[in-house]
Structure 1
Amino acid sequence: MQHPTTRRLILAGAGSLLAAPAIAQGWEPNRPLRIVVTYPPGGVNDIVARIVAEPLSRELEQPVVVENRAGAGGNIGTQHVIQSPPDGYTILLGTTALFGVNPIVYASSGIDAVRDTTSLGLLGQVANILSVIPGKVEATDLRSFIAEAKRRPMVYGSVGNGSSSHLSATVFMQMAGIEATHVPYRGSSPLVAAMLAKDVDFGFDTSATSTAHIRSGAFRPLAVTTTVRASALPEVPTMQEAGLPGYDLGIWFNLAVAKRTPAPAVARLREALGKAMSQNTVERLKAAFVDPIAVPVTENDAWIAASAGRWQQITRDARIAAD
């Protein structure tokens, strides 16, 4: 669930990641760096990584390349970062799912992003949006949709088993008392394609990848998963406003490196990321429907551990298991 600190620190406009106050000394990159995205190109994770990579490259005076390593709900890419040399050159584009869902869903993997990485900074947050497909679903609001879902079988899509998209749907269905057949896709782009093709009745995906299709009329939005409305779609009610009190599942992104990365490299990367999160970067994220957030760098790992712990409990309660 969304940490109250997040709400207080949502950036109204200008702002930065509140980088470490001291100038990092003792480490400078001398070759290209990589940001590993654990989902295919085109989704919100990829979008966020590419927006941040450009100014980060300028601050570090080295190329910062985005590399997509999808699979196993994000664990393939996460494992790659954790097992890469801990030298600061391989960076993880972290997500709520990787830190707060996967350690439960893929417990046998031994991969735990909270335990095995050090955060460089939080980048932003998005809401998942419950969208239905016009022509397949008659309902125009959440209450009538729940009633319709109780009358007939439905199929829904997510961006992958164990993803925040899947968890958002699972918690929704449990609270609403409905059932539907789950079809997990390998990321946002395949899910959006399936929704546009009307292969599913409904799906949960982020404001970053859903908004254009909502505005075109291809998707009909019923509610967002956060306790505040998404800035991209202020007309769409929250789940709580629409009739599900207590529903709160926001999604955040961060950058992280392997836990054993030397402190000078972590400090330099944090400093560079703090500067990279300029007003221009903030505006680019907002244009991509990502609401930036900031947490003081000294509180970053603790904040993420607390948030991940809440998501892990939700995941246990939802009893999501790997396919």
Structure 2
Amino acid sequence: MRLILRRDALAGLGTILAAPALRAQSWQPSRPLRIIVTYPPGGVNDIVARIVAEPLSRELGQPVVVENRAGAGGNIGTQHVIQSDADGTTILLGTTALFGVNPIVYRSSGVDAVRDTTSLGLLGQVANILSVIPGKVEATDLRSFIAEAKRRPMVFGSVGNGSSSHLSAVVFMKMAGIEATHVPYRGSSPLVAAMLAKDVDFGFDTSATSTAHIRSGAFRPLAVTTTTRASALPEVPTMAEAGLPGYDLGIWFNLAVVKRTPPEAVARLRDALGKAMGPQTVERLRTAYVDPISVPVAENDAWIAASAARWQGIARDANIAAD
């Protein structure tokens, strides 16, 4: 039996560890990159993509543009990424809804982001905020709002059928024992406009798009959907604190490429994204009310698959299907 000296073993280990780095260095994009946002401009998805695009462009030495391809709850943009050339230049701005809800809501579409993409890294997370409209709703806290909703008919808005906004409301109503009429809008901007026009009684939208209107007094926040308070609105309680223990529905964002993308391209993109997500980018995301989230790259796909499975269970239990 040949003995392997310690120095030889260490040298071999160094070669193995260096392999991903060497692959990353060997690949460079040959043309500008696109980040596909599956919702209209102006919403939190669009904001996150544009914040990340600039530092990612610097790291890759190529322009990175944001392209909005809305429709079918995000499936149009997702399908575009999956069907694009697997050269690493077409990137999906992934969301909880795309990965965790759409395979249930759009069962016949054949689009499955968990199955068909590889994650480059998580970007951040936000809470949805349950906001009511002053002048339409008297309640000033969650318990009194539930009581009011049991006394009279209410209408709520979401950013789309089957979205995390919609499911946040579905889970809330189920746990609270109330009912309300659902009006789905095509993204955050139309929902915010409807809430400002007092077309609905309440809605769930992200801290990124709700905070300014909450601070202006146009919306009255009652609770956030995560188990910890949102850094943008530390005075707003969690659902559990406000009276619904066990409620936990956070929303995350990631970047992903089609699964058949060459390993060297994936390695280079992950490396570039890791460097792009430096202190300045994180601070810009915080300014947009998006809190950082940290999951090791090696565990990224498994973490997303687990989160997606949980959301799919919620969508399945709610029996939600596309309009």
For the aligned pair, the TM-score class normalised by the smaller chain equals: over 0.9
2:94 maps to a residue whose letter is G
- 1:140 maps to what in 2? 140
Give 1:26 deviation, angstroms. Answer: 2.4
1:279 maps to a residue whose letter is P
Q: Where do 4+ consecutive residues of structure 1 move more than 2 Å?
A: 20-23
2:185, 2:244 → 1: CA distance?
26
- 1:104 maps to what in 2? 104
- 2:163 maps to what in 1? 163
1:189, 1:259 → 2: CA distance?
32
Give 1:107 deviation, angstroms. Answer: 1.0
1:150, 1:296 → 2: CA distance?
45
Q: Is the 8 A contact 2:154 2:180 kept in 1?
A: yes
Structure 1 unmatched ranges of 5 or more: 1-19
1:21, 1:307 → 2: CA distance?
27
Q: Percent identity?
A: 89
- 1:14 maps to what in 2? none
Q: TM-score, normalised by structure 1?
A: 0.93
2:205 maps to a residue whose letter is D
- 1:213 maps to what in 2? 213
Q: How does 1:258-277 map to 2 (within 5 A)?
A: 258-277=258-277
Change (3 A) 1:137 1:295: same
2:81, 2:162 → 1: CA distance?
20
Q: What is the count of residue pairs matched by the alignment?
A: 304
- 2:53 maps to what in 1? 53
Cα deviation 1:234-253 (Å, max 9, x = unaligned) = 00000001111110000000
The structure that has the greater radius of gyration is 2
- 1:91 maps to what in 2? 91
Partner secondary structure for residue 256 of structure 1: strand
Q: TM-score, normalised by structure 2?
A: 0.93
2:76, 2:43 → 1: CA distance?
17
Give 1:22 deviation, angstroms. Answer: 2.7
Higher relative contact order (CA 8 A, sep 6+): 1
Q: Does 1:237 align with 2:233?
A: no
2:191, 2:212 → 1: CA distance?
14
Q: Does 1:26 align with 2:26?
A: yes
- 2:3 maps to what in 1? none
Cα deviation 1:168-209 (Å, max 9, x = unaligned) = 000000111111110100100000000001010000000000
Give 1:25 deviation, angstroms. Answer: 3.0
Partner secondary structure for residue 25 of structure 2: coil
Partner secondary structure for residue 108 of structure 2: helix
Partner secondary structure for residue 39 of structure 1: coil
- 2:64 maps to what in 1? 64
Cα deviation 1:31-64 (Å, max 9, x = unaligned) = 1100000000000000000000000000001000
- State the Cα RMSD in Å: 1.0
- 1:79 maps to what in 2? 79
2:277 maps to a residue whose letter is M
Partner secondary structure for residue 292 of structure 1: coil
Partner secondary structure for residue 221 of structure 1: strand
Cα deviation 1:134-167 (Å, max 9, x = unaligned) = 0000000001101111111111000000100000
Cα deviation 1:252-275 (Å, max 9, x = unaligned) = 000000011111110110000000
Give 1:21 deviation, angstroms. Answer: 7.2
- 1:249 maps to what in 2? 249
Give 1:314 deviation, angstroms. Answer: 1.3
Cα deviation 1:88-145 (Å, max 9, x = unaligned) = 0100000000000001111110110000000000000000000000000000000110
1:317, 1:227 → 2: CA distance?
21
- 1:279 maps to what in 2? 279
- 2:129 maps to what in 1? 129
2:102, 2:66 → 1: CA distance?
22
Give 1:315 deviation, angstroms. Answer: 1.2
Structure 2 unmatched ranges of 5 or more: 1-18
Q: Is the 8 A contact 2:20 2:267 kept in 1?
A: no
Q: Is the 8 A contact 2:20 2:264 kept in 1?
A: no
2:78, 2:94 → 1: CA distance?
8
Q: How does 1:169-188 map to 2 (within 5 A)?
A: 169-188=169-188
1:313 maps to a residue whose letter is G
2:49, 2:27 → 1: CA distance?
23
